[in-house]
A = this chain, B = another copy of it.
Amino acid sequence: MSDDPFEDARSVAVEQLERFGLSAYAARTFVALAAHGSGTARKVSQVSEVPRTQVYNAVEELHEHGLVHIQHASPKRFWAISSETASRTFQHELRRRTEILRTALEEIEPPKPQAEQRGVWTVDGQAAITNRVLEFFADAGDEIVYMTVGDLLTDEIIEALGEAAERGVSVRLGGVSQDVQDRIQDEIPGATMFESLWMWSDTAAGRLMMVDGQKTLVSALVNGAEASPSDPRSETAIWGQGNTNSLVVILRAIFTWRLDTAESE
């Protein structure tokens, strides 16, 4: 097992370059050139373990992306642009392409608001679940009940809750630790806190959400034996909406009962 930090950085860079659409040879070639500034096909081949005869193709590919300069001599010399310039080139290119995608998708998307979906749906992955929650928050009109563990109360979530509160939406937060509560009270003055409905941290943690009494989401961190705790993909959620939705009915019953009980105590 290699603990050479340079080796690590190189393979990381190679992996990212490949995911951005470069071939394996092109990625390895660029990293080799970036590490040594400039070099011939032979030198690149030695340090990157790319077959020498394939270095020319790889460099050609990089040249078309504007990532290397070529000196037409014998032997040819290749020169990688600076890492800073390279990063900015990618940044620009990708921003441009996401913009193209966004425009195309918006043109495709049906204009009319989606008919309300019936049934129970699933989403996986912390980022995707957070997105869904944020969309629910943005649509909230009356009340948000949100119960979570500290790890999943990100700045994005807090910000969205704050915006909702300013619209006059009643915000009820549960399950957060004392120190986080103080911070919340500062940022969202209108929010009210309630204690965990049950011993949240003992079991596998997750979130419970109800908006306007008719949109609900439940998630769990699936930190079993296999998934690492830090893996953001290890959260799974179900959600549903509508007055008669079975998940909504259940969640509403639980929340109403427990919150009423807690308030009357």
Question: A residues touching B (Cβ–Cβ < 8 Å)?
Answer: 5-6, 9-10, 12-13, 16-17, 19-21, 31, 34-38, 63-67, 69-73, 77, 79, 81-92, 94-95, 97-98, 100-110, 114-115, 117, 119-125, 127-129, 131-132, 135, 233, 239
Contact of B16 with A97 in the complex, beta carbons under 8 Å: yes
Q: Are B69 and A84 in contact (CB under 8 A)?
A: no
Contact A117 B38 (CB under 8 A): yes
Q: Which residues of chain B are near A71, meaning CB under 8 Å?
A: 117, 119-122
User: Taking CB as reference atom, which chain B residue is nearest A78?
Assistant: B121
Residues A125 and B83 in contact, CB atoms below 8 Å apart: no
Is the Cβ of A97 less than 8 Å from the Cβ of B135?
Answer: no
Known contacts A98-B94, A100-B16, A110-B36; A105/B83 CB under 8 A: yes
A135 to chain B, nearest CB (A): 7
A35–B70 Cα distance when bound, in Å, is 45
Closest-by-CB residue of B relative to A105 is: B83
* Given A72-B122, A121-B79, A104 and B66 contact (CB-CB distance below 8 Å): no
A90 to B124, CA, bound (A): 16
Q: Which residue of B lies closest to A107 (CB)?
A: B9
Q: Which residues of chain B come closer than 8 Å to A72, judged between CB atoms?
A: 120, 122
Of B9, B95, B104, the residue contacting A13 (CB under 8 A) is B104
Q: How far is the CA of A70 from the CA of B237 in the complex (A)?
A: 11
Would you call A125 and B94 a contact (CB within 8 A)? no
Whether B92 lies near A94 (C-beta < 8 A) is no
Q: Which of B64, B106, B109 contacts A124 (CB 8 A)?
A: B64
Q: Which residues of B contact A107 (CB under 8 A)?
A: 5-6, 9
CB pair B13–A119 under 8 Å, yes or no, is: no
Q: How far is the CB of A169 from chain B (nearest CB, A)?
A: 20
Q: Which residues of chain B have C-beta atoms less than 8 A from A115's C-beta?
A: 37
Q: Do the beta carbons of A122 and B69 come within 8 Å of each other?
A: yes
> Can you list 15 residue pairs at the A/B interface with Cβ under 8 Å?
A9-B107, A10-B104, A19-B21, A34-B108, A35-B110, A37-B115, A63-B124, A66-B129, A69-B123, A71-B122, A73-B119, A85-B131, A89-B131, A91-B95, A94-B98
